């Protein structure tokens, strides 16, 4: 391997300099094209219920705390679905009036 001997390493780098520079240029062009295609990565929206995730994952409590966490999660989902259902009903009423 040329890297064990510093002199051979320098010689190898000198001989392959143009190839390495061409490859770097090619990678920069690819990166520039990828940035133009997707300038902003998609953001994942997380609701307020995400506050419960660290509590559930990091908890070393007994089974009672797991039960409490599950009940809170079920209540949160219930109110979330109830709110969505109400907002859909309101929007359909508004559309039917027009």
Number of structural domains (the chain) is: 2
Q: Check pLDDT > 80 for residue 20.
A: yes
32 and 54 fall within a common domain: no
Tell me, what's the pLDDT at 95? 65
Tell me, what's the pLDDT at 84? 83
- Residue 15 falls within a domain, yes or no? yes
Looking at per-residue confidence, does 26 or 98 come out higher? Answer: 26
- Residue 55 falls within a domain, yes or no? yes
Cα–Cα distance measured from residue 79 to residue 92, given in angstroms and rounded to the nearest whole number: 20
21 and 55 fall within a common domain: no
Tell me, what's the pLDDT at 46? 66
Cα–Cα distance measured from residue 37 to residue 70, given in angstroms and rounded to the nearest whole number: 42
Tell me, what's the pLDDT at 1? 54
Q: Check pLDDT > 60 for residue 98.
A: no
Tell me, what's the pLDDT at 83? 84
Other residues' Cβ atoms within 10 Å of the Cβ of residue 9: 13
23 and 52 fall within a common domain: no
62 and 29 fall within a common domain: no
55 and 89 fall within a common domain: yes
93 and 53 fall within a common domain: yes
- Residue 82 falls within a domain, yes or no? yes
CA distances in angstroms from 9 to 2, 20, 60, 90, listed in the order given = 5, 14, 54, 73
Give residue 33's domain range.
Answer: 6-37
- Residue 1 falls within a domain, yes or no? no
| Per-residue confidence band for 38, with pLDDT thresholds at 50, 70 and 90 | low
| pLDDT (tens digit per residue) in 42-94 | 666 667 767 677 666 665 667 787 788 889 999 999 998 888 888 777 777 66
């Amino acid at each position: 391997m040329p890297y064990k001997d510093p002199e051979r390493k320098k010689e190898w780098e000198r001989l392959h300099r143009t190839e390495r520079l061409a490859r770097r240029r090619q990678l920069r062009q690819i990166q520039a094209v990828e940035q133009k295609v997707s300038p902003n990565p998609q953001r994942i929206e997380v609701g307020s219920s995400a506050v419960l995730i660290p509590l559930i994952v990091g908890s070393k409590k007994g089974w009672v705390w797991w039960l409490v966490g599950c009940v809170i999660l079920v209540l949160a989902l219930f109110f979330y679905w109830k709110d969505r259902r109400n907002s859909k009903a309101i929007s359909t009423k508004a559309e039917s009036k027009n």
